[in-house]
Amino acid sequence: MLSIRLDSKTQERIDNLSKATKRPKSFFVKEALANYLDDLEDYYEAMKRKNSSDRELISFEELKEALSV
């Protein structure tokens, strides 16, 4: 269980969206958080790979060729 405090503008936006869609406010908070976490995990994985000393790089031409299969 998690409890959060929202600023009044964000609270109003969620309230309005909830009323307009007849979905609970928690639905939108969960969706937003899940999407944010997905993006954040992707970012940190990309940074980890970018900074790895054993990464294997290919040229743009090699990438285009590999994707055109």
Query: For every residue of 14-35, which 3-state class applies, written as one string?
Result: HHHHHHHHCCCHHHHHHHHHHH
Q: What is the pLDDT of residue 69?
A: 66
Q: What is the pLDDT of residue 48?
A: 93
Q: Are 22 and 37 in contact (CB under 8 A)?
A: no
Per-residue pLDDT of the chain (69 residues; tens, 9 = 90+): 889 999 999 999 999 999 999 999 999 999 999 999 999 999 999 999 888 988 888 899 999 999 986
Amino acid found at 16: N
Domain limits, the chain: 23-51
